[in-house]
Amino acid sequence: MLIAGNWKMHTVPDAAVELARDVARRVRSHADSVAVAVCPPSISLAAVGEVVRNTPVRLGAQTMHEAEQGAYTGEVSAPMLGAVGCHYVILGHSERRQLFGEIDAGVNRKTLAALAHGLVPIVCVGETLNERKAGEEETVVGRQIDAALDGVHLDSAAHLVVAYEPVWAIGTGETASPEQAQAMHRFIRDRLVSFGAPREVEILYGGSVKPGNAADLFAQPDIDGGLIGGASLDAESFAAIVEAASKV
Ligand code: PGA
C-alpha cells in the first residue's frame, strides 16, 4: 500500500515544513505496512526533504521538465528533484493536462526522463465526466496508459506507480464507487501487464479520498493505495487515511 499526499499549490514553505513534521510524527506507527509520500510545492521540496530525511516518509514532486537542464524558464528537472531527495514525481496529473496543456506525448517524455534519473513516476490517468457518460472511460484511460508508457521497460514493479484519478472526482467531493474504481483498476492492471509490466505495479486511486471512504476503496483487490489531494493538507485526516490503508 502507498498513500501519497498531493499538496498542489498550497502551503507557504513554513507551513509545508510544519505539515510534513506533523505527518511524519502521525504515520510513524504504520511505517511497516504502508509507504507514505508527501508532494509539496517545488519551492518547499528541499526544506520538506530535510524534515522527512531519516523518517519513513518519502518525498515527491508534482511535475518536472523532461530535459536535464537548459533554457526552460520556470521549470525543474529530474536531476534537481533527485538532488533534494525526491523519490517520486507525479506526472500527467489532470490539472497539468487541463490547465497547462500537457499532452500524452509530453507525459511519455517525462516518464522516460524520470525513470532514466532514478525517480519513480506516479503517472496519472483518468476520464472526464463527459467521457464516462459516453462510456469511453476504458478507451480514454487505455490510450493514456499506452502513450505514457511507450518505450518504457521496467526491471521492477517498484519503478512505476500509476494513479487512476477520474477527473469528475477530483476536488469535487464526488468519489468513484469502490466497484467503479475496482473495475478501472483491473482494466489498468491488465493493460500494464500487456505492456510487459509486472502485475505488482502499484495502482493508486485518487479523487476525493477522505477518512470516511478510504477503507472501502482500499478493500478492493486492485486498489493499492491512494493519491490524496484536499485531505492531505490536514495531517490528522491524512494520517487517518494511512491508518485505513494499514488495516487492509
Ligand atoms: P482530491 O485530489 O483528493 O482533492 O480530490 C486528488 C488529486 O488531485 O490528486
Q: Are 151 and 112 in contact (CB under 8 A)?
A: yes
Handedness of CA 172, 178, 179, 183 (dihedral sign): positive
Quote the number of domains for the chain. 1
Of the chain, the percentage scoring pLDDT greater than 70 comes to: 100
Q: Which residues pair with 161 in a beta bridge?
A: 122, 202
Q: Evaluate if pTM is beyond 0.85.
A: yes
Looking at residue 175, its pLDDT comes to 87
Q: Tens digits of per-residue pLDDT, 79-90?
A: 999 999 999 999
Looking at residue 174, its pLDDT comes to 83
**Best mutation site among 89, 90, 165, 234 for ligand 1, i.e. most ligand atoms within 8 A of its Cβ?**
165
Which residue's CA lies nearest to atom 3 of ligand 1? 229
Looking at residue 199, its pLDDT comes to 95
Which residue's CA lies nearest to atom 1 of ligand 1? 229
Residue 234 C-alpha cell reads as 490536514
pLDDT at 195 over 90: no
CA 165, 169, 170: angle at the middle one, nearest 5? 70
Residue 83 C-alpha cell reads as 538532488
Placement of cell 518536472 in the chain: 64
Looking at residue 29, its pLDDT comes to 94
CATH code, domain with 182? 3.20.20.70
Cα 214 to ligand 1 centre (Å) = 13
pLDDT at 19 over 90: yes
Distance CA 48, CA 147 (A): 32
**Through-space distance between the first and last CA atoms of the chain, rounded to whole angstroms:** 9
Q: Tens digits of per-residue pLDDT, 46-71?
A: 999 999 999 999 999 999 999 999 99
Q: Tens digits of per-residue pLDDT, 150-187?
A: 999 998 999 999 999 999 999 888 888 999 999 999 99
Of the chain, the percentage scoring pLDDT greater than 90 comes to: 96
Looking at residue 45, its pLDDT comes to 98
**Best mutation site among 209, 232, 234, 237 for ligand 1, i.e. most ligand atoms within 8 A of its Cβ?**
209
Which residue numbers are catalytic? 93, 165
Q: CA 3 from chain center: how many Å?
A: 8
Ligand 1 atom closest to residue 8's alpha carbon, by position in its atom list:
8
Q: How confident is the model at residue 114 (pLDDT cuts 50, 70, 90)?
A: very high
What is the pLDDT of the chain when averaged over all its residues? 97
Cα 70 to ligand 1 centre (Å) = 31
Cα 36 to ligand 1 centre (Å) = 16
Which residue's CA lies nearest to atom 7 of ligand 1? 229
Distance CA 105, CA 41 (A): 24
Domain of 189 in residue numbering reads as 2-246
Within 10 Å of residue 18's Cβ, how many Cβ atoms?
14
